[in-house]
Amino acid sequence: MESKNKPTLYWSLLKFKDLNFYIASTAKGLVFVGSQNKPFEELSEWAKKRFTGSPLVEDDEKLEPYAVEITQYLEGKRKTFTVPFNYDGTAFQLAVWNALCEIPYGQTKSYSDIAKDINKPAAVRAVGTAIGANPVLITVPCHRVVGKNGSLTGYRGGLEMKTLLLDLERQALSSNE
């Protein structure tokens, strides 16, 4: 039974080609998309910090809508997500994550671009920290943020996954032209 203070976290292992990552939601929406090929401990440790005392329940059926949209994205068939989210953060983190969602599919922005977008041009490092705290990889597209010179920089899912996601978006765009 779900209580207000300790919502049940439902989870599933999403498998797509060589990618395996855990996803989790509450009854209200998606709260976590894990890193590529990381063990279950990535999710359980995150849940202990963010949802202390909440039970973790495997439920592929409850996670199916999220898994379907993420899979469609990975197949190059989806550019935006319509599933509900249920993440929380500081006002600053939420501003950064909302700015990430405004980066068009197949394009990138720098950390300083995001800082300017949220009217905090001097907060570039804080923007990087907020991006690193993004709990829902892929769906809130922090992979679209690169260094000022265009170089690939840190990504919780690993630079290999970041490269894969950016390449996937570029290929999907070029095949639609």
Q: Among all residues, which ones are annotated catalytic?
A: 142
Instruction: Retrieve residue 160's tokens.
Output: 């290999």
Separation of CA 46 from chain center? 14
Cβ(41)–Cβ(3) below 8 Å: no
* CA gap 45, 51 in Å, rounded: 10
* CA gap 90, 59 in Å, rounded: 29
Q: Which residue has the tokens 């592929």?
A: 60
Residue 54 CB partners (closer than 8 Å, separation 6+):
6, 7, 8, 9, 47
